[in-house]
C-alpha cells in the first residue's frame, strides 16, 4: 500500500494532547444539579444517581413545554364532559356569549361559540354539516390542525357536508363530502356562526352509519350557565392528563421525538403510568419549573417576531399554524401560543385583509411596568380602528389565562359592537382599566382587582390594511392613578 503523499498528515504530539483534552471530562463538573464527580471520566456512584435525577427532571420539563397542546385538549374535554357534553351528539354553545364563570383559555366575550368532541373510535366515520356563513375548525387531539369549515373552508360559507375518517380507516369513502383523515380518534370541534345562535343550531353532527336512516337530532347545551374548568394542570397531575391521551390514541399519532420524551418519563401506551416516590417528586418539580418557563415564554417571549411594536406582542410567531420557520419547529412559539390560547387554524395564524381576526396583547404599561390591578390605566384608541367588523379588548387573569373574575360583571371586556362605548369628539376612544371607574366613564371601564396582575387581548375582526402596514397603531396603557 502506497504511503505517498501522506507524510505529515498525522497529529503532532501536541495536537494529540489537545484532542484528548477536548474530549475528556474533568474530575469535577459544576452543574445546576450539584457537582458531578468522575474518576478518569467514569461517574462515581453518587454522580450516577444525581445525573439520572437531573436527566429525568430535564425530560419532565421538556415534556411539559412540548406537550402542553395535548394536555390542553384533555382538560378541555374533561371540562366539557362535566357540562354534559358527553358525545358529539351534544354541542355546547355560549349563549349569548362566553363569560368569566368558567375557566377557559382566553375566550372572547363578543361572539357565540359552539363546541364538542368527535369520538371516531366509537362512531367511526363521522359527518359534520356546517351551517352557512360560519367559521368552524377541527383540531386533532394533539391540537394540530385538521380542517376549516365554512367561510375559510372549501364550502366558502355556503354550508357543506364534511366527513372525518378515523386512523387506519380502509373502508369505502362515499362521494359528496369534503373528506379528511385525522391521526387521532378524538378531535375537537369549534363552531362559530355569523348568524348567531339560530344559525349555530343548524349544525348537524352524526355517524355516517346513521345516514341510511334519519340521524338522531343534536342537543344543544348552554355553556354560559356552566361553572367548569377546561384548563390543564400546572402540577403533577399534568402528566396524568397526558397519560389519558397516550393510552387512547395510536402510537403513530405523535412524532417519534416527542413520543420518546414521553416514554422517557414513563408515559407509554399500554403501560400503567405509576411513577415511584422518587419520580413523583421529580415530576412535581418538573411541572412547576415547566409552568414557570412556559409563563416566561408566554409573557416575555424573546423571539423578535413575537414583538409587534412597543410592548405589544403577537401570539402566532412566524405566521405558521404549524409553528415552522425555514423548516424548523419554533418550540417556544408553540408553547407561547398553547399556554395562552386555543384553536389552531391557518386562518388565525395568517390573517388576511378584511377576513379572519388579528390579535395583540401586552402585560406592561407605558413605563414598561407590569400591569397592576390596584392601579388605573387609560388606553387611547385612535379614530378609525382598522376593523371591517368590530374590535374588542378582553381582560384576563395572568394565573389562569381565563377571563378576569370581578364583582362588577361576568364580561370583563369592551367592544365596539356593543353600542355602549363613548367616543371622543374626533372619533377616538379612551378606555379605562382599574379597581374603580373614573367618574362618568363607566361605559368605557373594565374593573381590575388590587393584588392581581392582568393582561388583555386586543382583537380586530376583519383587520384592514392600516393594521398590517402599521399606519394605525395601538397606544400603550398609560397609568393615571
Residue ranges of the domains in the chain? 24-80+233-296, 84-222, 351-480
pLDDT digits (tens, 9 = 90+) for 298-310: 999 999 999 999 9
Task: Answer whether residue 212 shows pLDDT above 80.
Answer: no
> How confident is the model over 147-154, as a mean pLDDT?
94
Task: Give residue 8's pLDDT.
Answer: 60
Nearest CA-CA partner of 349 in 387, 308, 321: 321
351-480, which class in CATH?
mainly beta
Residue 91 and residue 76: Cα distance in Å, rounded? 14
390: β partners: 461
3-state secondary structure of 248: helix
> How confident is the model over 123-148, as a mean pLDDT?
96
**Residue pair 216/285 in contact by the 8 Å Cβ criterion:** no
Is-same-fold flag (24-80+233-296; 84-222)? Answer: no
Residues contacting residue 219 through CB under 8 Å, at least 6 positions apart: 89, 90, 91
Nearest CA-CA partner of 294 in 74, 108, 139, 69: 69
At 448, is the pLDDT very low, low, confident or very high (cuts 50, 70, 90)?
very high
Using DSSP, how many helices (H) and how many strands (E) does the chain show? 10, 25
Report percent pLDDT > 70 for the chain. 98
Residue 458's alpha-carbon distances to 20, 332, 344, 385, 414, in angstroms, are 57, 22, 18, 11, 10
Residue 258 and residue 60: Cα distance in Å, rounded? 12
- Tell me the CATH number of domain 84-222, given options 3.90.1150.10, 3.40.50.720, 2.40.128.260, 2.60.40.1610: 2.60.40.1610
Residue 77 and residue 75: Cα distance in Å, rounded? 5
- The third-level CATH classification (topology) of the domain covering 24-80+233-296 is VPA0735-like fold (1.10.3360)
pLDDT digits (tens, 9 = 90+) for 99-109: 999 999 999 99
* Strand ranges of the sheet holding 114-119, from the earlier edge strand across to the other edge: 145-150, 135-140, 186-191, 114-119, 90-93, 219-222
Pairing of strands 160-165, 126-130: antiparallel
Nearest CA-CA partner of 116 in 148, 151, 79: 79
Task: Answer whether residue 27 shows pLDDT above 50.
Answer: yes
Nearest CA-CA partner of 207 in 175, 249, 178, 164: 164
Residues contacting residue 426 through CB under 8 Å, at least 6 positions apart: 383
**Residue pair 117/92 in contact by the 8 Å Cβ criterion:** no
- The H or E element containing residue 425 is none
pLDDT digits (tens, 9 = 90+) for 355-398: 878 999 999 999 999 999 999 999 999 999 999 999 999 999 99
Of 11-20, 174-183, 430-439, minimum mean pLDDT range: 11-20
At 175, is the pLDDT very low, low, confident or very high (cuts 50, 70, 90)?
very high
Task: Give residue 7's pLDDT.
Answer: 53
Residue 439's alpha-carbon distances to 433, 436, 444, 445, in angstroms, are 13, 9, 11, 10
Task: Answer whether residue 421 shows pLDDT above 90.
Answer: yes
Nearest CA-CA partner of 65 in 359, 252, 288: 288
Which cell numbers hold the place of 37?
464527580
pTM: 0.94
**Residue pair 343/113 in contact by the 8 Å Cβ criterion:** no
Residue 114 and residue 109: Cα distance in Å, rounded? 13
Residue 449 and residue 138: Cα distance in Å, rounded? 36
What phi and psi, each to the nearest 5 degrees, are found at residue 168? 75, 5
DSSP string of 310-337? Answer: TTEE-SSGGG-TT-EETTEE-HHHHHHH
Residue 57 and residue 287: Cα distance in Å, rounded? 9
Residue 244 and residue 70: Cα distance in Å, rounded? 10
Which cell numbers hold the place of 481?
392613578
At 293, is the pLDDT very low, low, confident or very high (cuts 50, 70, 90)?
very high
Task: Give residue 2's pLDDT.
Answer: 45
Task: Give residue 355's pLDDT.
Answer: 80
Determine if the peptide bond prior to 96 is cis (ω within 30°): yes
**Residues constituting the chain:** 481
What sign results for the dihedral spanned by CA atoms 92, 94, 95, 100?
A: positive
3-state secondary structure of 473: coil
Pairing of strands 387-397, 324-325: unpaired
What sign results for the dihedral spanned by CA atoms 287, 293, 298, 303?
A: negative
* Strand ranges of the sheet holding 28-31, from the earlier edge strand across to the other edge: 28-31, 34-39, 42-43
Task: Answer whether residue 5 shows pLDDT above 60.
Answer: no
At 481, is the pLDDT very low, low, confident or very high (cuts 50, 70, 90)?
confident
**Residue pair 116/205 in contact by the 8 Å Cβ criterion:** yes
pLDDT, the chain, mean: 95
DSSP 442: G
**Residue pair 150/200 in contact by the 8 Å Cβ criterion:** no
Task: Give residue 67's pLDDT.
Answer: 98
pLDDT digits (tens, 9 = 90+) for 156-169: 999 999 999 999 99
At 225, is the pLDDT very low, low, confident or very high (cuts 50, 70, 90)?
confident
Amino acid at each position: 500500500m502506497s504511503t505517498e503523499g501522506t507524510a505529515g498528515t498525522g497529529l503532532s504530539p501536541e495536537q494529540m494532547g489537545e484532542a484528548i483534552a477536548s474530549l475528556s471530562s474533568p474530575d469535577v463538573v459544576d452543574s445546576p444539579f450539584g457537582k458531578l464527580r468522575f474518576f478518569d471520566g467514569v461517574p462515581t456512584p453518587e454522580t450516577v444517581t444525581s445525573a439520572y435525577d437531573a436527566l429525568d427532571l430535564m425530560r419532565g420539563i421538556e415534556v411539559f413545554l412540548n406537550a402542553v397542546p395535548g394536555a390542553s385538549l384533555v382538560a378541555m374535554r374533561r371540562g366539557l364532559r362535566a357540562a354534559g357534553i358527553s358525545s358529539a351528539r351534544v354541542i355546547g354553545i355560549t349563549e349569548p356569549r362566553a363569560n368569566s364563570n368558567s375557566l377557559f383559555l382566553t375566550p372572547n366575550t363578543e361572539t357565540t361559540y359552539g363546541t364538542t368532541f368527535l369520538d371516531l373510535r366509537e362512531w367511526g366515520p363521522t359527518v359534520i354539516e356546517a351551517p352557512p356563513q360560519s367559521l368552524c375548525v377541527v383540531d386533532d387531539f394533539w391540537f394540530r390542525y385538521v380542517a376549516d369549515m365554512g367561510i375559510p373552508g372549501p364550502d366558502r360559507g355556503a354550508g357543506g357536508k364534511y366527513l372525518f375518517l378515523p386512523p387506519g380507516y380502509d373502508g369505502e369513502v362515499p362521494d359528496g363530502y369534503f373528506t379528511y383523515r385525522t391521526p387521532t380518534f378524538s378531535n375537537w370541534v369549534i363552531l362559530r356562526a355569523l348568524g348567531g345562535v339560530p344559525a349555530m343550531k343548524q349544525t348537524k353532527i352524526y355517524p355516517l352509519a346513521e345516514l341510511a336512516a334519519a340521524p338522531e337530532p343534536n342537543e344543544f347545551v348552554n355553556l354560559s350557565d356552566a361553572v367548569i374548568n377546561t384548563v390543564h394542570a400546572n402540577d403533577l397531575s399534568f402528566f396524568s392528563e397526558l397519560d389519558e391521551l397516550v393510552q387512547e390514541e395510536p402510537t403513530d399519532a405523535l412524532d417519534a421525538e416527542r413520543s420518546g420524551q414521553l416514554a422517557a418519563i414513563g408515559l407509554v401506551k399500554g403501560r400503567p403510568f405509576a411513577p415511584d416516590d422518587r419520580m413523583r417528586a421529580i415530576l412535581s418539580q418538573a411541572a412547576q419549573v415547566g409552568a414557570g418557563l412556559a409563563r416566561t415564554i408566554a409573557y416575555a417571549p424573546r423571539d423578535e417576531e413575537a414583538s409587534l411594536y412597543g410592548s405589544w406582542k403577537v401570539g402566532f410567531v412566524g405566521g405558521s399554524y404549524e409553528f415552522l420557520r425555514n423548516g424548523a419547529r419554533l418550540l417556544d412559539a408553540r408553547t407561547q401560543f398553547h399556554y395562552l390560547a386555543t384553536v389552531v387554524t391557518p386562518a388565525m395564524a395568517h390573517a388576511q385583509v378584511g377576513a379572519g381576526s388579528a390579535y395583540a396583547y401586552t402585560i406592561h404599561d407605558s413605563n414598561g411596568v407590569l400591569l397592576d390591578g390596584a392601579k388605573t390605566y387609560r388606553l387611547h384608541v385612535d379614530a378609525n380602528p382598522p376593523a371591517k367588523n368590530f374590535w374588542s379588548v378582553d381582560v384576563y387573569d395572568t394565573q389562569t389565562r381565563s377571563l378576569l373574575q370581578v364583582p362588577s360583571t361576568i364580561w370583563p371586556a369592551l367592544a365596539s359592537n356593543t353600542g355602549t362605548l363613548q367616543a371622543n369628539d374626533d372619533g377616538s376612544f379612551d378606555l379605562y382599566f382599574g379597581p374603580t371607574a373614573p367618574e362618568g366613564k363607566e361605559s368605557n371601564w373594565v374593573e381590575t382587582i388590587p393584588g392581581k396582575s392582568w393582561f388583555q387581548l386586543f382583537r380586530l375582526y376583519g383587520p384592514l390594511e392600516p393594521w398590517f402596514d402599521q399606519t394605525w397603531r395601538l397606544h400603550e396603557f398609560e397609568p393615571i392613578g
